Amino acid sequence: MNYDIIRLKKGKEESLRRFHPWVFSGAIASMPPELEEGTIVTVLSYDGNVLGTGHYQKGSIAVRMLRFDDAPIDSAFYSDRIAEAWNLRKAAGIINDRSDCYRLIHGEGDFLPGLIVDVYGATAVMQAHSPGIHLSRKIIAESLVNLPGLGLKNIFYKSETTLPFKAGLEPADGYLIGNFETDVAKENGLLFHVDWLKGQKTGFFIDQRDNRALLRQYSCGKDVLNMFCYTGGFSVYALKGGARKVVSVDSSAKAVSLTERNISLNFPESAPHTAIAMDAFKYLDDMADGEFDLIVLDPPAFAKHRSAIPNALRGYQKLNLKAFKKIRRGGIVFTFSCSQAISKEQFRLAVLSAAVDSGRKVRILHQLTQPADHPVNIYHPEGEYLKGLVLHID
Ligand code: SAH
């Protein structure tokens, strides 16, 4: 294809030969002057061999690779990638009669850097994290609705907060195809209102599906505290699992009301549930010793950048310590970090240090991560972000 050419410095082609999806700006020997952000480029080695084709962008990640040859990036390309991603979800057993809510495209994990697509029934919420994907949003939306069997009718574009601010693209959130039908999605037979218009991310944290299902198994007869509850996902599963009482806490009043709506949706009669709008750290400080025997800690990413790692680790340590100190003897803690910048080992050390400070006997029962609809490209370990531990506290 006749795309603009970016040529790499000598010896800088190795990571692309190993299918790493990014080209850093420092690796570039030459490129056209004033290349527009989002332009499709062909990347050549210093010797002129084709390494692949991707989207150009200003900043330290200069090219996000879409393919490792120079074939076209057109609607057939997007349709093929989407079909592959859909087949993977079907093979993993994620799409079935009990669930119509899943991540269809997980950026680099589905060889489509910069693109996130979450499906809620007949509606897909699409997020662009790169100018190239933003410029291609219409052909991507068409490829999504045109894939036979996928069953999508509405494509909502939600990129106001995810695109690089400096690119000056001013994307407006809204439907690219179709319109609002219903905001109710089904996960493992449970129902959830999903607020893609105003909610965080695409409206729901699909990545915790398997971990919520695991929590259900631990909930029978338990007093459960769900910290950072957002849509109340863990709370609904705990109640389905037979919890004696569930308390959901979130600092956002909107999240608390969404949790209450989701409890009523699944338990129209009544449920032993209370939702409280409060800071999680304060709630843990104020609560009585031994009030709960199951605590979920699923905070927002404490480290959004590498520079924030030391503070974030102190945050995880502090939060876990508060829960360990107060949980009933023989209690269970589900503790998570969704900070991409923090490794599994760093998170585990923060939890270890909380365990030591609490003076309690702590054992690891499960080590959790993101589910199969959030695949990790093995050449791009940065894609693995969700870490969790299920702990038994004596
Ligand atoms: N557990 C949720 C996802 C949590 S997202 C799920 O399974 O869907 C993180 C949530 O933490 C957000 O809803 C946000 O409002 C809330 N939050 C952020 N800071 C907080 C704080 N200091 N105290 C309590 N909640 C907080």
pLDDT beyond 80 at 318: yes
Q: Is the pLDDT of residue 167 over 70?
A: no
Whose C-alpha lies nearest to ligand 1, atom 11?
228
How far does the centroid of ligand 1 lie from the alpha carbon of residue 66, in Å?
A: 33
φ, ψ for residue 333, nearest 5 deg: -120, 125
Phi, psi of 295, rounded to the nearest 5 degrees: -125, 130
What's the burial of 26, exposed, middle or buried (CB within 10 Å: 0-12/13-18/19+)? Answer: exposed
Confidence of residue 166 (pLDDT cuts 50, 70, 90): low
CA 146 to centroid of ligand 1, rounded, Å: 36
At which residue do the structure tokens 């190239």 appear? 132
Average pLDDT over residues 313-335: 98
d(CA 245, CA 216): 13
Question: Residue 171 pLDDT > 90, yes or no?
Answer: no
Strand partners, 23: 63
User: Cα of 230 to ligand 1 centre, how many Å?
Assistant: 5
Q: Confirm if 297 and 336 have CB atoms less than 8 A apart.
A: yes
In this predicted structure, what is the pLDDT of residue 55?
98
Best residue for ligand 1 mutational test, from 250, 261, 339 (most atoms within 8 Å of Cβ): 250
Average predicted confidence (pLDDT) for the chain? 96
The confidence score (pLDDT) of residue 172 equals: 87
What pLDDT shows up at residue 185? 97
Query: What is the predicted pLDDT for the residue at 161?
Result: 87
User: Within 10 A of 274 (CB to CB), how many other CB atoms are there?
Assistant: 14
Known catalytic membership, residue 338: yes
Q: Please report which helix (H) or strand (E) contains residue 177, including its range.
A: strand 174-177
